[in-house]
């Protein structure tokens, strides 16, 4: 099960929210989460670059302890390159975002030929497009939700994950809990992506429990 931790400092309690993001990144990397998306969309470019650089330093320290966590910066290919991040997470193409192929080309021109490119997808068509444009994996959702923010449901996730042809992993996003993560994987998801799942509890305990469920 791939685990994808998404940051949102506004959901973290301490007054110094940037430091709280760093502590989350450090804890998640040491606990062995696969990917961390730095998703602080309202920061200025300079603030985001500074935070990303500090987060990357924590991840590099964790790698000395055997961690394989990789950092992706939300949307900003330039900042991902500048801070030495492992790649970028792109919004859906419907938002006017770069394609995965274009992002990969920019990394290549900067001397980074093997970035990780993740793409947010909300439909089967978007998943197929991301796959055709060379994304490494898609984050699909929301799977679960309530009221006006109702999710697409586990059956839609299952259809996406069992599409043909199928060359790209799909991670489930949206309302993911410890309990529902197992059902997402059973439906064919390669893993789960979440904000609250990792930020609302002891991140190390959450990751350990998810890993345990994946082996059950």
State how far Cα 81 lies from the chain centre. 17
- 133-181 pLDDT tens trace: 999 999 999 999 876 678 999 999 999 999 988 899 999 999 999 999 9
Average pLDDT for 191-204: 88
pTM for this prediction: 0.94
Structural domain that includes position 165: 2-215
| pLDDT one-digit tens code per residue, 2-56 | 999 999 998 887 767 889 999 999 999 999 999 999 999 999 999 999 999 999 9
Q: In this predicted structure, what is the pLDDT of residue 28?
A: 96
Q: Residue 93 belongs to a domain with what CATH number?
A: 3.20.20.70
Give 139's strand partners.
120, 171
Of residues 119 and 93, the one with the higher pLDDT is 119
Quote the radius of gyration of the chain (alpha carbons, Å): 16
Q: Is the pLDDT of residue 187 over 90?
A: yes
User: Mean pLDDT across the stretch 110-124?
Assistant: 96
Distance (Å, rounded) from C-alpha 175 to C-alpha 151?
Answer: 8
Angle between helices 178-186 and 154-161 (to 10 degrees): 40
Phi, psi of 194 (to 5 degrees): -165, 160
- Identify the pLDDT of residue 202: 84
Q: Which string of DSSP letters, residue by residue, matches 49-89?
A: HHHHHHHHHHHHHHHTTT---EEEEES-HHHHHHHT-SEEE
Query: Taking 70 as the threshold, does the pLDDT of residue 201 lie above it?
Result: no
List the one residue out of 163, 197, 156 whose CA is nearest residue 4.
197
Structural domain count, the chain: 1
What are the residues whose beta carbons fall under 8 Å from the beta carbon of 81, sequence distance 6 or more? 106, 107, 110, 112
- What is the end-to-end Cα distance of the chain in Å, rounded? 11
| Average pLDDT of the chain to the nearest whole number | 93
């Amino acid at each position: 099960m791939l685990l994808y931790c998404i940051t949102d400092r506004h959901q973290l309690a301490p007054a110094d929210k940037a430091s709280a993001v760093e502590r989350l990144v450090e804890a998640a990397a040491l606990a062995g989460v696969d990917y961390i998306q730095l998703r602080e969309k309202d920061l200025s470019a300079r603030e985001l670059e500074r935070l990303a650089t500090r987060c990357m330093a924590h991840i590099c320290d964790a790698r000395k302890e055997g961690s394989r966590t990789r950092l992706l910066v939300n949307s900003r290919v330039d900042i991902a390159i500048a801070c030495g991040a492992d790649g970028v997470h792109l919004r859906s193409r419907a938002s006017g975002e770069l394609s995965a192929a274009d992002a990969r080309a920019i990394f290549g021109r900067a001397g980074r030929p093997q970035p990780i490119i993740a793409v947010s997808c909300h439909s089967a068509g978007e998943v197929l497009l991301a796959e055709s444009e060379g994304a490494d994996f898609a984050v699909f959702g929301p799977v679960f939700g309530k009221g006006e923010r109702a999710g697409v449901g586990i059956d839609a996730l299952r259809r996406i994950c069992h599409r043909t042809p199928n060359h790209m992993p799909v991670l489930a996003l949206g309302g993911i809990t410890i309990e529902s993560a197992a059902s997402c994987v059973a439906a064919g998801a390669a893993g789960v992506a979440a904000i609250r799942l990792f930020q609302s509890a002891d991140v190390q305990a959450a990751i350990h429990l998810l890993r345990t469920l994946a082996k059950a």
